[in-house]
Copies of this chain bind each other. A is one copy, B any other.
Amino acid sequence: MDASEIVTGFIRAVERMEIDAAVATLAEDVSYENMPITPIVGRDAVGGALTAFLGPAEEVDWKILRQEAVGSVVFNERVDRFRIGTGWLELPVAGVFEVGPDGLITLWRDYFDLGSYQRQLTELTDAG
């Protein structure tokens, strides 16, 4: 698998909400960087963060709009969608990933607007 396929595999595991399978594609010392927030370092910590992040969702659909690999670096544009109750939270994201020589993801960095996420989360959980 090339770097792009590895990243797509990770995203598909997240969509199935299979945290163990998702985390298995990450390096032991992976850095997960949501740009507005402090980085989360280490596979176990990222697994915990993913569990919390996906917690409110009953369904997860991360649309990859565009994805390109240049060597071990993968860029993508996504709309990360989370079904909460009867509504969908939709978050535009630009992601940057690095894949190590062993095929494990060492960096997962997402750029997005935190306010867009928080406002939708509040609306959907208040409505639920």
CB within 8 Å for A111 and B114 given contacts A68-B75, A73-B68, A75-B75:
no
Shortest CB distance A117–B (Å): 10
User: Is the beta-carbon distance between B115 and A93 smaller than 8 angstroms?
Assistant: no
A8 contacts B by Cβ under 8 Å: no
A36 contacts B by Cβ under 8 Å: yes
Inside 8 A of A105's CB, which chain B residues have their CB? none
Interface flags for A72-107 (1: CB within 8 Å of B; 0: not) read 010101000000000000001110100000000000
User: Is the beta-carbon distance between B96 and A35 smaller than 8 angstroms?
Assistant: no
A113 contacts B by Cβ under 8 Å: yes
Among B73, B93, B115, which residue has its beta carbon within 8 angstroms of that of A111?
A: B93
- A interface, CB within 8 angstroms of B: 35-36, 66, 68, 70, 73, 75, 77, 92-94, 96, 109, 111-116
